[in-house]
Amino acid sequence: MRRTLALTGALTVLVGLVHVGVAACEYSAFTLDALWFVGSGIAVGLIGVLSLLASIDGPPVMRWTAAGANLLGLALAVGFLGLVGWQAPQGLALVVLFATGVVCTLRMDSARSLAR
Protein backbone atom coordinates (compact mmCIF):
# COMPACT_ATOMS: atom_id res chain seq x y z
CA MET A 1 0.00 0.00 0.00
CA ARG A 2 2.78 2.40 0.89
CA ARG A 3 4.40 2.20 -2.57
CA THR A 4 1.07 2.46 -4.35
CA LEU A 5 0.17 5.54 -2.30
CA ALA A 6 3.58 7.12 -3.00
CA LEU A 7 3.20 6.48 -6.75
CA THR A 8 -0.36 7.81 -6.69
CA GLY A 9 0.79 10.91 -4.83
CA ALA A 10 3.63 11.53 -7.28
CA LEU A 11 1.33 11.13 -10.29
CA THR A 12 -1.24 13.45 -8.71
CA VAL A 13 1.45 16.11 -8.16
CA LEU A 14 2.48 15.69 -11.80
CA VAL A 15 -1.14 16.13 -12.97
CA GLY A 16 -1.38 19.28 -10.86
CA LEU A 17 1.81 20.69 -12.38
CA VAL A 18 0.62 19.89 -15.90
CA HIS A 19 -2.70 21.60 -15.09
CA VAL A 20 -0.87 24.77 -14.04
CA GLY A 21 1.32 24.55 -17.16
CA VAL A 22 -1.71 24.21 -19.42
CA ALA A 23 -3.11 27.38 -17.88
CA ALA A 24 -0.08 29.29 -19.10
CA CYS A 25 -0.78 28.07 -22.64
CA GLU A 26 -4.57 28.43 -22.60
CA TYR A 27 -4.93 31.89 -21.05
CA SER A 28 -3.26 34.90 -22.61
CA ALA A 29 -4.35 37.26 -19.84
CA PHE A 30 -4.69 37.08 -16.08
CA THR A 31 -8.44 36.62 -15.66
CA LEU A 32 -10.72 35.11 -13.06
CA ASP A 33 -11.05 31.99 -15.22
CA ALA A 34 -7.27 31.68 -15.48
CA LEU A 35 -6.88 32.10 -11.73
CA TRP A 36 -9.55 29.45 -11.12
CA PHE A 37 -7.80 27.05 -13.52
CA VAL A 38 -4.40 27.59 -11.87
CA GLY A 39 -5.95 27.24 -8.41
CA SER A 40 -7.47 23.91 -9.39
CA GLY A 41 -4.08 22.65 -10.53
CA ILE A 42 -2.49 23.79 -7.28
CA ALA A 43 -5.22 22.02 -5.28
CA VAL A 44 -4.65 18.78 -7.21
CA GLY A 45 -0.90 19.08 -6.58
CA LEU A 46 -1.41 19.69 -2.86
CA ILE A 47 -3.60 16.60 -2.57
CA GLY A 48 -0.75 14.68 -4.19
CA VAL A 49 1.73 16.11 -1.67
CA LEU A 50 -0.52 15.01 1.19
CA SER A 51 -0.65 11.52 -0.31
CA LEU A 52 3.13 11.43 -0.56
CA LEU A 53 3.46 12.52 3.07
CA ALA A 54 0.93 9.91 4.15
CA SER A 55 2.98 7.19 2.45
CA ILE A 56 5.77 7.86 4.96
CA ASP A 57 5.34 6.14 8.30
CA GLY A 58 3.99 9.05 10.30
CA PRO A 59 1.15 9.91 12.64
CA PRO A 60 -2.36 8.64 11.84
CA VAL A 61 -3.59 12.22 11.47
CA MET A 62 -1.49 12.53 8.30
CA ARG A 63 -3.17 9.49 6.73
CA TRP A 64 -6.63 10.71 7.76
CA THR A 65 -5.89 14.17 6.35
CA ALA A 66 -4.71 12.65 3.06
CA ALA A 67 -7.77 10.37 2.95
CA GLY A 68 -10.08 13.35 3.46
CA ALA A 69 -8.29 15.45 0.84
CA ASN A 70 -8.45 12.60 -1.68
CA LEU A 71 -12.13 12.07 -0.90
CA LEU A 72 -12.87 15.75 -1.54
CA GLY A 73 -10.79 15.62 -4.72
CA LEU A 74 -12.76 12.56 -5.80
CA ALA A 75 -16.04 14.42 -5.24
CA LEU A 76 -14.81 17.37 -7.32
CA ALA A 77 -13.55 15.09 -10.11
CA VAL A 78 -16.89 13.26 -10.26
CA GLY A 79 -18.71 16.61 -10.26
CA PHE A 80 -16.51 17.85 -13.09
CA LEU A 81 -17.18 14.69 -15.10
CA GLY A 82 -20.90 15.08 -14.51
CA LEU A 83 -20.76 18.62 -15.88
CA VAL A 84 -18.89 17.56 -19.03
CA GLY A 85 -20.99 14.44 -19.63
CA TRP A 86 -18.26 11.97 -18.63
CA GLN A 87 -16.30 12.93 -21.77
CA ALA A 88 -13.02 14.21 -20.28
CA PRO A 89 -10.17 11.71 -19.93
CA GLN A 90 -8.36 13.92 -17.42
CA GLY A 91 -11.40 13.73 -15.16
CA LEU A 92 -11.36 9.95 -15.31
CA ALA A 93 -7.64 9.95 -14.50
CA LEU A 94 -8.30 12.13 -11.46
CA VAL A 95 -11.12 9.83 -10.32
CA VAL A 96 -8.72 6.87 -10.46
CA LEU A 97 -5.92 8.75 -8.67
CA PHE A 98 -8.13 10.16 -5.92
CA ALA A 99 -10.00 6.88 -5.38
CA THR A 100 -6.68 5.05 -5.13
CA GLY A 101 -5.48 7.65 -2.64
CA VAL A 102 -8.55 7.16 -0.46
CA VAL A 103 -8.34 3.36 -0.54
CA CYS A 104 -4.60 3.23 0.14
CA THR A 105 -4.65 5.68 3.04
CA LEU A 106 -7.57 3.93 4.71
CA ARG A 107 -6.08 0.47 4.19
CA MET A 108 -2.74 1.62 5.59
CA ASP A 109 -4.47 3.00 8.65
CA SER A 110 -6.58 -0.12 9.20
CA ALA A 111 -3.53 -2.39 8.73
CA ARG A 112 -1.64 -0.33 11.27
CA SER A 113 -4.53 -0.56 13.74
CA LEU A 114 -4.72 -4.32 13.33
CA ALA A 115 -0.99 -4.64 13.96
CA ARG A 116 -1.38 -3.16 17.44
CA 34 vs CA 5, 10, 14, 88, 95: distances in Å:
30, 24, 19, 19, 23
Q: How many CB atoms neighbour CB 43 within 10 A?
A: 16
Q: What is the pLDDT of residues 49-107, one digit of tens each?
A: 999 999 997 789 999 999 999 999 999 999 999 998 888 888 999 999 999 999 999 99
Structural domains of the chain, count: 1
Phi and psi angles of residue 86, each rounded to the nearest 5 degrees, phi first: 55, 35
Relative orientation angle of helices 89-115 and 60-83, to the nearest 10 degrees: 160
Q: Which domain holds residue 15?
A: 2-115
Q: What is the pLDDT of residues 7-52, one digit of tens each?
A: 999 999 999 999 999 988 999 888 999 999 999 999 999 999 999 9
Contacts of 107 (CB under 8 A, 6+ apart): 1
